[in-house]
Amino acid sequence: MNTDNVQIFKTARRLLTGENSSYLLPEEMASLNVKRPLIVTDKGVKDAGIIQPVIDNLKSNGVENIFIYSDISAEPETHIVEACCETFEENQCDGVIAIGGGSAMDTAKAVAIYSGETRSLSELFGEDKVAPRKIPLICMPTTAGTGSEVTNISILLDVQAQIKKGIVSNELLPDVAIVAPELTLSCPEFVTAASGVDALVHAVESYLSNFASEITKSLSIAAIRMIVDALPVAYQEPTNIAAREKMATASLMAGLAFGNAGVGAVHALAYPLGGRFHLSHGVSNAVMFSHVMRWNSTSCPDKFIDIAIAMGADHSISESDAGDYVVAKIEALCVSVSIPKQLREFGIEFDDLNELAISASAVTRLLRNNPRQLSVKDIETIYQEAF
């Protein structure tokens, strides 16, 4: 029997969405028998007071032993995961709850599979190298962008190699994902912008992926339509709960799409920017986005028609015009949310581009998803266009 065409859809085991869904955390913890949780967050989220209502809610429901790890950097390094694991083990915690953006969630996911491991963390990089997870894991995003709450990937910075690497395993899929728009209301303006564009990159790249399915394509297109509509509003009116909920839902949908179809060259070219120059994930994706799309548009013009229409183009748009429309729309959206346009604005020198291209070309796990195959020279040219 031939099973080559069988597709498996991966996501968190339980998914809660909608306004005030964060208040159901105590019930979800009880179902997983979590009584001594470690909350993994970052200092920005903690200082903004976002987690305090969550803690108050837990305490009012009888959860007294709550521990917090907030020493998370914008691009989490491997030693952060190791330190977080120590906190988990020293306090005899019995579950991990991520409350934050992609960095907090990626750290928490790594802790949940690394605590108790005898191997080094570096041995887990790659695909399917993780032992069965025994620690309950709940993810609650405070940004609308990464989709990490429903993906089987944890992206960490390998400081020595100066590049981000991924641990890929279904064991990283959370037991519960709670996508509550109220947790995003205090999201800073620049984070709203970068994470929102990141979500759009996920939606577009997953639609173009060589491994897209009818299910993921439907999620991608719906997410594109929602983000283009809601991101400028969420950016300009940060307390607009309707726009925040649209962005939270769109980010989730894009996460479900790319968590199953994969992302492509935008992410591959962004990885070295985060690893070497410490650009945030969202910003590095945003800077490369339109330039990679300009290259990809010639390889699958029919798909670019679909994307252009989702972005607001007339249904009669031609294949020859669709690519230009999408690129222009991406550039205009980035300008509207104050994303810098060029690599040189981040202190990157022209002489750095060849080395960046060599690093990006090694991210074959992502480049294989891209609809257009890119050589090292092609990648260097794209960096030059973004310079």
Per-residue pLDDT reduced to its tens digit, 190-235: 999 999 999 999 999 999 999 999 999 999 999 999 999 999 999 9
> For the residues 97-105, what does the mean pLDDT come to?
94
Tokens 């020198």 belong to residue: 349
Name the pTM for this structure. 0.92
Are 53 and 201 members of one domain? no
Are 335 and 224 members of one domain? yes
Are 131 and 242 members of one domain? no
Strand 163-168 versus strand 153-158 pairing type: antiparallel
How much is the pLDDT for 109? 96
Number of domains present in the structure of the chain: 2
**Residues near 351 by beta carbon (within 8 Å), at least 6 away in sequence:** none
| pLDDT, tens only, 36-70 | 999 999 998 998 889 999 999 999 999 999 999 99
Are 302 and 340 members of one domain? yes
| Domain boundaries, position 133 | 15-184
Are 166 and 39 members of one domain? yes
Note whether residue 96 is domain-resident: yes
Note whether residue 336 is domain-resident: yes
DSSP state, residue 356 = H
Are 312 and 163 members of one domain? no
Note whether residue 8 is domain-resident: no
Asked if residue 4 has pLDDT above 80, the reply is no
DSSP state, residue 92 = T
Rounded mean pLDDT of the chain? 92
Asked if residue 121 has pLDDT above 90, the reply is no
DSSP string over 236-258: H-TT-HHHHHHHHHHHHHHHHHH
Are 178 and 195 members of one domain? no
Are 208 and 301 members of one domain? yes
Q: How far apart are CA 315 and CA 312, in angstroms?
A: 9
Would you state the structure tokens that stand for residue 359, as one six-digit string?
């690093």
Are 138 and 199 members of one domain? no
pLDDT band at 165 (very low <50, low <70, confident <90, very high): confident
pLDDT band at 162 (very low <50, low <70, confident <90, very high): low
Are 253 and 136 members of one domain? no
Are 196 and 159 members of one domain? no
Are 129 and 175 members of one domain? yes
